[in-house]
Chains A and B, each alone.
Chain A
Amino acid sequence: GESVGLHLPTLSVQEGDNSIINCAYSNSASDYFIWYKQESGKGPQFIIDIRSNMDKRQGQRVTVLLNKTVKHLSLQIAATQPGDSAVYFCAENLNFGNEKLTFGTGTRLTIIP
């Protein structure tokens, strides 16, 4: 069945270092993936997305990598800042156009000053 999961529930990174958050998905039919950031007391905030016809996409300080062979998604955050501390969720769409998002359980990232 469909499932989206995260390898590491918590991650602590020194400020200024790079961080990598991983996500595994089981449905090979998924063709659209999104990373959201959720700070305490707030709703999920869109970070970056990627379609299955791509294997890498870059944003400002963030990069998403998609490895369809092993059904793996990662979010790289460069030069982490205290404001990056949050829970990060990956989400997948079964097919682009089907708007039902299936979310992973989330990884809590803590930036150590």
Chain B
Amino acid sequence: DSGVTQTPKHLITATGQRVTLRCSPRSGDLSVYWYQQSLDQGLQFLIQYYNGEERAKGNILERFSAQQFPDLHSELNLSSLELGDSALYFCASSVGQEDIQYFGAGTRLSVL
């Protein structure tokens, strides 16, 4: 157990809908990262927050957004969902900005 908690584990929704994925980092970790894992793209970095502020952005679609709250948990919001958004979404956390990233078990999103 990495100490990173993601909910829900599975999510099934329809095209056009909006969902929110939640991540609780390890105790004491200030950085949170979001990754998308799909069969044809592998693990892709989406976005990073450090102590509530956005610090790095990857290939995150404009339909996707994230935030980190004062208690350091983070949420990834996916809107106007498309079939191609079906994937595993992982959250990772680290103590600071130059530390090993520890991953949660992921949320499996299925868009039908």
Interface-facing stretch out of B12-20, B62-70, B74-82, B98-106: B98-106
Q: Are B4 and A43 in contact (CB under 8 A)?
A: yes
Cα A82 to Cα B38 in complex, Å, equals 26
Main secondary structure of the interface of B (DSSP, over half): strand
Q: Size band of the B side of the interface? A: 20 to 34
Q: Is B94 an interface residue (CB 8 A)?
A: yes
| A89 with B43, Cβ < 8 A, contacts A43-B106, A99-B55 known | yes
Interface-facing stretch out of A13-21, A22-30, A57-65, A103-111: A103-111
Per-position binary interface string of chain A over residues 36-55, scored 1 when its CB falls under 8 Å from any chain B CB and 0 otherwise? 10000111111001000000
Q: Are B56 and A99 in contact (CB under 8 A)?
A: yes
| Chain A residue nearest in CB terms to B42 | A105
Question: Smallest distance from the beta carbon of B29 to chain A beta carbons, Å?
Answer: 12
Near B by CB (< 8 A), chain A positions 81-113 give 89, 91, 96-106
Q: Are A101 and B45 in contact (CB under 8 A)?
A: yes
Main secondary structure of the interface of A (DSSP, over half): loop
Question: Smallest distance from the beta carbon of B1 to chain A beta carbons, Å?
Answer: 10
Chain A residues near B43 (CB, 8 Å)?
44, 89, 91, 101, 103
Instruction: Point out the residue from B97, B98, B105 that lies within 8 Å of A43, measured CB to CB.
Output: B105
**B31, B45, B55, most chain A CB atoms within 10 A:** B45
Question: Smallest distance from the beta carbon of A105 to chain B beta carbons, Å?
Answer: 5
